[in-house]
A and B are shown apart, each in its own frame.
Chain A
Amino acid sequence: MTTKKKFDPKQFIINNAIYLILVALVIIITVISPRFFSLDVARDILMQSAVRIVVAMGCMFIIVSGSADLSGGRMVGLTALVSASLAQQAAASLKFWPGLPELPAFVPVLVAMLVGVVLGGFNGWVVAKLKVPAFLATLGSQMIIFGFSSLYFNMEPNRSQPLGSLTQSFRDIGSASLFGVPYIVMIALVVMLIVWVLQTKTCLGKEIFAVGGNLEAARVSGINVFKIQMITYSLAGALYGLAGSMEAARTASATSAYGNAYELDAIASCIVGGCSIAGGVGTVGGVFAGVVIFNVISYGLTFIGISPYWQNVVKGLIIIGAVALDVRKYSAKK
């Protein structure tokens, strides 16, 4: 390991690849269509990224702790349904809970987060107590959660009809702005700030890194691994619940198909954003950039009218490229 800090352009590119790719993408798209470089576009992209950011932050906790979570997307779907069903207008023509009065907008959000905490806690318990490998444990809970989503969605009198007629105050969470900044973007920023503080300024954050870095060493040094895993999964669940209600508010609807495959996008964003697959490494800024990159690609390629099939090619190349660089970053340090 070198102690002298000399500017090495190659190392700089490797260390900041994700941000450079993002800048390059924006430049390329702007050259093709100059109107891309505008505040309106930036706001659109941030609004579309907001839900994904919150999901990815939850996912990051788990990846940093050296674990995996495949149930996030379905948890977003279930909590979107739960929050939408509690956020309907009193006079909705097809009411999920007939007779339910109009609730203040924060109630569905809190209930969704609570559902997330419970399901996340279940994941944590299966992983930490039953010692089921995280990948399989959360694959199982993904199915369980989707099953519950479908059952809930198909309940009388709703019978699998997309939910609608949400209250204006709830919809405002996803579409209204304050001084030009959409609430949904503010929520994502606040979440990022809280996660950053938790990760870098608290004992808990350091313990999560320690567990992810080397589980046995963490155990030996007196960290309660069970507790840490329960906390990371529950925290992630709370964030998935928040994301679910944000998605319902933004689209003013919900179905059981919501959130499908979001967990895989979140994992991809985390990895592209510099989280180590092995655990113990990950930053809020990197993951944020990872999410934004994918949204810039899908928004930008639609913006310049490129066939949607190419979006997948570009996304795939970026994932491979980012991970290839990432591998070099750590092998260089070790």
Chain B
Amino acid sequence: MKKAMSLVLAFALVLSLAACGGSSSAPAASSGAASTASSTAGAQPVAGVCWYNFGDTFIANARQTLNDAAAADGTVKVIDADSQNDVATQTSNMNNFYTQGVDYMVLNNINNNAITELIQQAKDKGVTLIFANSNSPTDEEFALYDNVYHVSSMAPQSGTIIGEALAKYWQEHPEADRNGDGKLNYVMLLGIQGHYDTTVRSEYSVKALNDAGIETEAVQEAICNYQRADAQNQMASILQARKDDVEAVIACNDDMALGAIEALKAAGFFADDASYIPVVGVDATKVGVEAIKDGTMLCTALNNPVILGNSVYNLTKLLSEGKELTQENLGMDGVTVEGHHIYINYVGITKDNTDDAAY
């Protein structure tokens, strides 16, 4: 018994190595069960939706919107399942939906190396495949099957928006160059290593600054796994080491921006106008928008989950009525239709338009 326990604990210890690196998800239970959102019977077309993670704030809102839209409209029935951020679970959920005979497969895909196979599978089953809030298939992949669609935001936009807001602040406030070296010295708070959003947000925010003619220098890049506590801890350390060099903080989401703001406050920033330091984030969470109203966070970029949920529903409805996807047929604000793509526009939120963040 003891020996077994030691083995088990040794195993836990091995896991902890991975955990030190902040692996983002706990061991997830495989759940093939799909929940039924609307249960109207009949020859109603059915859309099976695989969300990557129900616990994600953004997904929770998009999911609620989609399910509410389906319940209110009733043209298309929506059933959904949680992939729990696990490729294997996503696969079993999809198989479950195919077995149930869905007409539309809405996939918040996390299996990004298998887009071709996913399209081939949908083609074999004769089911319309809609990639939602995930990487786009390439043009060659689109060519494999007519009934493939893609609904997502343009991730680079989020980086560009916060970079431009920071550039504007920098140009209007010469005193923001605290060490007087003519360069904008920033701390970059990254989410998860290699995560698409992290990559493009960090890249395009800095690119927007450089495009505005601002010389930049990274004081430090820190991986904070999108977590507030991690950002707060690492920022405290960076400030102890190089407080005078830090002139701005770029965070790949609001939670990390807010964690950085807590550490900045503890280090004496945000006490008055003279100790203001620009911090930008992405997501426009409620607490993020509160911070903008309070005058701490400078800017955030909103990817509206309500528009995502409604776009997905309207797309399935439109297709079930035999119509083609065009900007006019979709009839929605805040999105751009290009071929089989629906692009959801990011909106920059600053203290001038905090009302736009209410959805």
Contact = CB atoms under 8 A, between A and B. Distances in A.
B55 A160 contact: yes
Interface stretch (A97-105, A203-211, A230-238, A311-319): A311-319
Interface string A296-312: 00111011110011011
B2 interface: yes
Contact of B2 (A44, A268, A279, A299): A279
B228 to A, nearest CB: 5
Given A150-B55, A277-B5, A161 B286 contact: yes
B2 A159 contact: no
Interface string A50-86: 0000000000000000101010011000000000000
A153 B287 contact: no
B233 A312 contact: no
B55 A264 contact: no
Contact of A308 (B10, B29, B222): B222
A331 interface: no
Given A260-B24, A267-B9, A255 B228 contact: yes
Nearest to B228: A251
Nearest to A294: B20
A153 B183 CA distance: 42
Contacts of B222: 302, 308
Interface stretch (B33-41, B56-64, B345-353): B56-64
A301 B175 CA distance: 31
A34 to B, nearest CB: 11
A167 interface: no
Nearest to B265: A175
A191 B296 CA distance: 35
Given A164-B287, A252-B262, A257-B55, A311 B229 contact: no
Interface in A252-270: 252-253, 255-258, 260-261, 264-265, 267-268
B164 interface: no
B55 A153 contact: yes
A93 interface: yes
B21 A312 contact: yes
Nearest to B12: A267
A161 B25 CA distance: 18
Interface string A267-282: 1100100000111000
A260 B24 CA distance: 8
Nearest to B60: A160
Given A160-B60, A277-B10, A323-B13, A260 B290 contact: no
A135 interface: yes
Nearest to A40: B240
Interface in B1-55: 2, 4-6, 8-10, 12-13, 15-17, 19-27, 29, 54-55
A264 B16 CA distance: 5
A45 to B, nearest CB: 9
A134 B12 CA distance: 13
Contact of A161 (B57, B259, B262): B57
Given A70-B12, A160-B55, A255-B255, A315 B241 contact: no
A133 B9 CA distance: 12
Given A251-B259, A302-B234, A319 B22 contact: no
Interface residues of B, number: 55
A267 B13 contact: yes
Contacts of A87: none
B35 to A, nearest CB: 13
A250 B23 contact: no
Contact of B61 (A66, A94, A159): A159
B122 interface: no
A267 B233 contact: no
Contacts of A93: 286, 290
Count chain A CB atoms within 10 A of each CB in B26, B27, B64, B286 and give the residue with the most: B26
B238 interface: yes
Interface in A117-154: 133-135, 139, 142-143, 146, 150, 153-154
A12 B29 CA distance: 46
B167 interface: no
A115 B5 CA distance: 28
Nearest to A275: B9
Contacts of A66: 2, 5
B12 A298 contact: no
A162 to B, nearest CB: 5
Nearest to B233: A48
Contact of B241 (A35, A264, A308, A312): A35
B327 interface: no
Given A68-B12, A258-B229, A265-B19, A48 B223 contact: no
B287 A261 contact: no
Nearest to A214: B2
A128 to B, nearest CB: 14
B29 A143 contact: yes
B232 to A, nearest CB: 6
B19 A261 contact: yes
B240 A44 contact: yes
B144 interface: no
Contacts of B17: 312, 315-316, 319
B237 interface: yes
A135 B240 contact: no
A16 interface: no
B232 A94 contact: no
B344 interface: no
B69 interface: no
Contacts of B15: 264
Nearest to B64: A159
Contacts of B27: 139, 142-143
Contact of B13 (A134, A160, A271, A305): A271
Given A48-B233, A247-B229, A264-B19, A256 B55 contact: yes
13 contacts: A68-B5, A135-B9, A139-B27, A143-B27, A143-B29, A162-B57, A162-B285, A253-B228, A253-B258, A261-B19, A265-B16, A267-B9, A319-B17
